[in-house]
């Protein structure tokens, strides 16, 4: 069963990585109101079925149907 996330954040500096999948394995679900925290030097990109849906710049973002209508 997929895990539902209230907060999505990758706190590491990613000095040795270009991409990090979240969650690392299996499916993950995000609900309306979930928080996406993007650190300086990072970007959060949401994918579904191999297609990019949306990108978030550094900052704290709340998932809504307005900013990610395809999730």
Mean pLDDT, the chain, as a whole number?
81
Tokens 């997929």 belong to residue: 2
Mean pLDDT of 9-30: 76
Q: Contacts by 21-25 with C-beta closer than 8 Å and gap 24+?
A: none
pLDDT 10s digits, 30-56: 788 889 999 988 898 888 888 888 899
Other beta carbons within 10 angstroms of residue 36's beta carbon come to: 21
More confident residue, 66 or 62: 62
Whether the model pTM is above 0.85: no
């Amino acid at each position: 069963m997929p895990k539902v996330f209230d907060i999505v954040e990758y706190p590491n500096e990613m000095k040795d990585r270009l991409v990090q999948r979240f969650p690392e394995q299996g499916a993950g679900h995000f609900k309306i109101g979930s928080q996406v925290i993007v650190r300086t030097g990072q970007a959060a990109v949401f994918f579904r079925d191999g297609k990019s849906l949306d990108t978030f710049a550094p900052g704290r973002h709340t998932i809504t149907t307005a900013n990610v209508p395809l999730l």
